[in-house]
Structure 1
Amino acid sequence: MPRQAVLIDGKALAKSVTDAVADVAARFTAAQGRQPGLAVVLVGEDPASQVYVRSKGKMAARCGFHSVTIRQSADLSQTDLLAVVDRLNNDSTIDGILVQLPLPTHIDADAVLSAIDPGKDVDGFHPINAGRLASGDVDNPLLPCTPAGIMHMIRTIHGKDLSGLNAVVLGRSTIVGRPISHLLLAANATVTVAHSRTKNIEALAHTADILVAAVGRPQMVGRSWIKPGATVIDVGINRIEDQNLGTSQLVGDVNFDEAMDVAGAVTPVPKGVGPMTIAMLMANTLKAAEARVKREAVPA
């Protein structure tokens, strides 16, 4: 069967977002006499986290931001990390704070994320921002970056109003699964969240007009999971080893080749959701800077 799916180019879409951010950021800097500021905190030596942090720093510089990366050793105490967050909360040059996850196991990540000023929470993980989204406030500027990027990709295929479309989200994490379900609901889709305890999950996935896979299992979603013509968003990033060749490759939660044969549109891995996540982080930082200007302009 010839391939029929449209490839959703996350790298190209991300560039369109960051180009727009850079343009607005330049005007912001001219008007305010300062750049939008982003601080990224990295604790430990996790290789994947280091790659992500470098990518975020480079993109922040391209967008014309004041960018700071604070690297701390893996044995940093939770008290000391909270002190770093408090200092950034009170730093007038910083509009957005991101604490790179995962954190070392001796640190309570929830406590650290909750300590970030909600107005500077550009990851969208603070309980106040998460609660706003769960209550239907999608106009809150600081939405979680990956779900916001996913919605941007879906809208390139279906537009803003998803009325009449069935969406199935595979995975219920607080980082992707739950927030993307709220965003899909706000766009009028009929949403089902499936997870490890869901019965007949393959058959359920096959009903989806929009299928979001965020489970962390390499190539789990194959041809039989996908409704012909569906839009498939692959959030997974998994490294698999080829024992015969001694090499490895990055794959998603979706079998890409099979999806391309049956779906209507598919995101690749890599160069799919990943670039969009970083792009939406830049957009959030700019929005946080603009919102802060408005707050500070209101008389006490």
Structure 2
Amino acid sequence: MTAQNSKASIIDGKAHAAKLKASIAAEAARLKAEHGLVPGLATILVGNDPASEVYVRNKNKTAESLGFKSVHHHLPADVSEAELLALVKALNADPSVHGILVQMPLPKHIREEAVLDTLDPAKDVDALTPYNAGLLLSGRAHLVSCTPMGVMMLLKETIGSIAGMEALVIGRSLLFGKPAAQLLLAANATVTMAHSRTKDLAEVCRRADILVAAIGKPEFVRGDWVKPGATVIDVGINRVDAGDGKSKLVGDVAYGEAAERAAHITPVPGGVGAMTIICLMRNTLIAAAALAGLPPLSL
């Protein structure tokens, strides 16, 4: 139960992430002991965005805690596109690096599509390259975008099979919305994608057994938009004014209101975000095993 005495049960992303982290640590130790394989993750940050710096620092810290090799490249905001692509190519060719993550967004003078087209799909642990997106669409995904995969794990642990349920994804980004819809379809849900131009969005939300909000607007989804008994997955992370010169993190869903109607709900923070980094480690481990020619891992 929440501090607001809500009816919904909280989906504890931190607890689920800790469980997955333990499995990854055990598998990483086994690969090192049996094959001398140490997964290597390389991160690239361009510029000095404070939020991105925190994200990348946490990713590197988690990798090191699992015994992975962690390499970080922090480039100035005015680095040329050619220089960034040269670094990506060098990491593609480095046998000690199994996963490469280029932190988005990039400065406007660098084309994200050029970076993704250069990145080796076998090391694309964010699963954003056209190749990996195509494999997901065809039902043959090897690496799956981290946050959508984390959401699917939370849904499986919380409500089991979602076959036949109506699922709504608000947001159609390459990073989350589109891959999330594909994963929900693969799990045999009936999927609707909504966005800023969707007509009567509130009414569309009220049909959803699973409501996934990833629109980037603080507390945009109101409580009376939630179907009673629905599962609400809040992917948003927004920093808002809390008064007295302080700020706080809120999601894309009005949590207190929605928790009065939902059966299950993810908090912000402590929900989906906790799964994202550990799913990145999962992808790095999977990529390392594949690049070493070892049998696929089941994590």
TM range (shorter): over 0.9
Instruction: Give the drift of 1:223.
Output: 1.2
Q: What's 2:123 paired with?
A: 120
Instruction: Give the drift of 1:295.
Output: 7.3
**Contact 2:215–2:252 (CA under 8 A) maintained in structure 1:** yes
Q: What's 2:142 paired with?
A: 141
Structure 1 moving runs of 4+ over 6 Å:
none
Instruction: Give the drift of 1:198.
Output: 0.9
CA distance in 2, matches of 1:217, 1:165: 26
Q: Is it true that 1:199 corresponds to 2:199 in the alignment?
A: yes
> 1:49-68 counterparts in 2 under 5 A?
49-68=52-71
CA distance in 2, matches of 1:2, 1:281: 34
Q: What's 2:81 paired with?
A: 78
CA distance in 2, matches of 1:168, 1:85: 36
Query: What one-letter code is carried by the residue in structure 2 that aligns with 1:195?
Result: H
CA distance in 2, matches of 1:191, 1:33: 43
CA distance in 2, matches of 1:205, 1:266: 15
Q: What's 1:25 paired with?
A: 28
CA distance in 2, matches of 1:281, 1:157: 21
CA distance in 1, matches of 2:195, 2:177: 9
* Identity between Structure 1 and Structure 2 (%): 53
Q: What's 2:271 paired with?
A: 272
Q: What's 1:14 paired with?
A: 17
CA distance in 2, matches of 1:2, 1:289: 45
Give CA deviations for 1:111-136 in whole Å, capped at 9, x if unaligned: 10221110000000010001111222
CA distance in 1, matches of 2:45, 2:289: 25
Give CA deviations for 1:176-204 in whole Å, capped at 9, x if unaligned: 11110000000000000011111111001
Query: What one-letter code is carried by the residue in structure 2 that aligns with 1:40?
Result: T
Instruction: Give the drift of 1:32.
Output: 2.2
Q: What's 2:170 paired with?
A: 170
CA distance in 2, matches of 1:40, 1:11: 23
Instruction: Give the drift of 1:2.
Output: 4.9
CA distance in 2, matches of 1:269, 1:38: 27
Q: What's 1:250 paired with?
A: 249
CA distance in 2, matches of 1:32, 1:273: 33
Consecutive unaligned residues in structure 2, runs of 5 or more: none
Q: What's 1:261 paired with?
A: 260
CA distance in 2, matches of 1:227, 1:182: 23
CA distance in 2, matches of 1:260, 1:155: 20
Query: What one-letter code is carried by the residue in structure 1 that aligns with 2:154?
Result: M
Q: What's 1:89 paired with?
A: 92
CA distance in 2, matches of 1:71, 1:198: 39
Normalising by structure 2, we get a TM-score of: 0.95
**Contact 2:211–2:231 (CA under 8 A) maintained in structure 1:** yes
**Residue number among 130, 134, 143 corresponding to 1:131 in the alignment:** 134
CA distance in 2, matches of 1:192, 1:135: 19
Instruction: Give the drift of 1:63.
Output: 1.2
CA distance in 1, matches of 2:220, 2:28: 40
CA distance in 1, matches of 2:241, 2:35: 50
CA distance in 2, matches of 1:72, 1:2: 47
Give CA deviations for 1:32-72 in whole Å, capped at 9, x if unaligned: 22311100011111100000001001100111101111111
Give CA deviations for 1:247-289 in whole Å, capped at 9, x if unaligned: 1111000011111111000001111111100010000000001
CA distance in 1, matches of 2:200, 2:78: 44
Q: SS of 1:70's equivalent?
A: strand
**Contact 2:213–2:253 (CA under 8 A) maintained in structure 1:** yes
CA distance in 2, matches of 1:7, 1:278: 20
Normalising by structure 1, we get a TM-score of: 0.95
Query: What one-letter code is carried by the residue in structure 2 that aligns with 1:110?
Result: E
Query: What one-letter code is carried by the residue in structure 2 that aligns with 1:281?
Result: L
Q: SS of 1:262's equivalent?
A: coil
CA distance in 1, matches of 2:109, 2:53: 19
Query: What one-letter code is carried by the residue in structure 1 that aligns with 2:196?
Result: S
Query: What one-letter code is carried by the residue in structure 2 that aligns with 1:184?
Result: L
Q: What's 2:113 paired with?
A: 110
Query: What one-letter code is carried by the residue in structure 1 that aligns with 2:124?
Result: D
Q: SS of 2:139's equivalent?
A: coil
Query: What one-letter code is carried by the residue in structure 2 that aligns with 1:12?
Result: A
Q: What's 1:213 paired with?
A: 213
Q: What's 2:232 paired with?
A: 232
